[in-house]
Amino acid sequence: MDIIAATRHGKVRGRVDGPIASYLGIPYAAAPFGVHRFRAPAPVEPWEGIRDALEFGPTAPQRPYRPPLDQLIPDVDIPGEECLNLNVWAPRAVGEPLPVLVWIHGGSLRNGSAAMPLYDGRAFARDGVVLVSVNYRLGVEGFGVFPDAPDNRGLLDQIAALTWVRDNIAGFGGDPGCVTVCGESAGAISIAALLTSPRAAGLFHRAILQSGPPHTVTRDEGARTVRAMAKALRVPATAEGFAGVDRERLLDVQDELVGRADPVSGGPGFHIVVDDDVVPADPPPPSVDLLLGCNREEYRLWFVPSGAVERVSRLTLRLALLKFRIPGRVARLYRAGRPDAKPGVILGEMATDLLLRGPLNRLADSRLTDSRPGGPRPSDSRLTDSQPGGSRPARTFFYEFAWRSPVLELGACHALEIGFVFDNLRHGEALSGPDAPQPLADAMHRAWVDFTTSGDPGWTAWDTRRPVRVFDHPGTSTVLAPRQEELRAWL
């Protein structure tokens, strides 16, 4: 059965399936092709009549993950130019305006889409949350740094989508004054930038960061990948020069240069850059409620399927310690806690803490006491807009996902938690297997729903005791300061 909703650009036709209404492929900005390519997102042109929103819209140009990741995280490729689109799932019958959760997908800023079946928003709509998932420009189109184009175009796309939510979500039953933005990996890194961006101020009221800490680079560092691509393409390292290259050729060269890189072992890639416009050099502390955390064995998604756990020798480990400037005392501490572990496991555990768990802990700690001279503790500070109406100061909640997947010995690897958050285990089987515990999905999904609705996921907020909600099966519980000796070693 069809259902009609109104936006500022025109009416859209969605589909009703039981108690859930879905609207797919709604454009929130003009197609980033032709005169709009390598430019900030432009307004979408209004349309007459009723536009069908029955199928997912085009995805951002990209190449699939390389084997074996392509089997574990299958990409969706939908051709077409209107790739700046979003999807909405909402209860069919709405009374009072409902809280809104905006999902920003991950993929190293070069892969992924809102059309992945794993991100189906039905379970959130079932539980009284309007779920919006967003496509944005990826790779060199969205995050390539050029002297003749705006920086952080993919981030500007996300801001344009959040602006669309503010202006239109009431027509789908959502409350524009109660918006939570949520993302995983590169999506979480994007949100960390949005938290401090003046362009995004007031567009959301809470944030969830899954396995992605704040991370930005300078414009010069961000331009290295563009310079390397320009050399391979034999064109100037400018937006004008790249615009003259066939898009398929551009994607081939991009994949050749960055396709083998990953967050743990490094390599050339795409980054959010400090531009003093969208992303300030001296960002203010986030003033909204945060839910953040990571998975216990993030590294295993990259180290296990590729065989790196077995290939890393003692010599390789020593060279990695030198490359990442890891003090010997830190390595000895990790070895002492894992006397039987292979060098690849030791390296992976340290990399997880260095790149993810440590920075996220520091972000949580930074919100306990304002770092500025004489800065107040949140309990003493004036009220923020972390809640509609500004009823109390912002809080931080920390989690860890610890359930271990039996698939390929992936363990509690990167991205495994997503199927549990979305209560969508069927479409997460590539990572979790067919027998993932539904009670764990119930618990994790409920925490995300509760945080989106009230700002309280159901456990103690972060304080000097460092409470961490450990999601596992059986036995989800709150643990105080897990593995703090190892985390403190990085200070």
**DSSP letters for 456-490:** --SSPPP-TT-EEEEE-SS--EEEESTTHHHHHTT
96 is catalytic: no
For residue 427, which phi and psi values (nearest 5 degrees)?
Answer: -90, 5
Torsion of CA 380, 203, 398, 488, to 10 degrees: -80
Among residues 9, 205, 271, 414, which one is catalytic?
414
Q: How far apart are CA 84 and CA 170, in angstroms?
A: 20
Spatial distance between the Cα atoms of 41 and 4, rounded to a whole number of angstroms: 26
Question: Which is catalytic among the residues 82, 184, 297, 298?
Answer: 298
Give me the amino acid identity at 54.
Answer: L
Query: Does the annotation count 298 as an active-site position?
Result: yes
Inter-axis angle of helices 343-352 and 328-337, nearest 10:
110
Q: Of 200, 171, 190, which is closest to residue 26 (Cα–Cα)? A: 171
Rounded Cα–Cα distance for residues 31 and 394 (Å) = 37
Active site residue 414: yes
370/377 Cα distance (integer angstroms): 6
- Give CA torsion, residues 337, 308, 322, 224, to 10 deg: -130
Tokens, residue 104: 């920003």
Q: Name the active-site residue from 108, 133, 185, 265.
A: 185
Q: How far apart are CA 388 and CA 437, in angstroms?
A: 35
Q: Rounded to 5 degrees, what are φ and ψ at 432? A: -100, -20
CA distances from 370 to 135, 287, 364, 365 (A): 35, 11, 11, 10
Return left, alpha or beta for 128; rule: phi > 0 is left, psi -120 to 50 is alpha, else beta. Answer: left
Which residues neighbour 257 within 8 Å (Cβ) at sequence distance 6 or greater? 225, 228, 229, 232, 268
Q: Which residues are designated catalytic?
A: 185, 298, 414
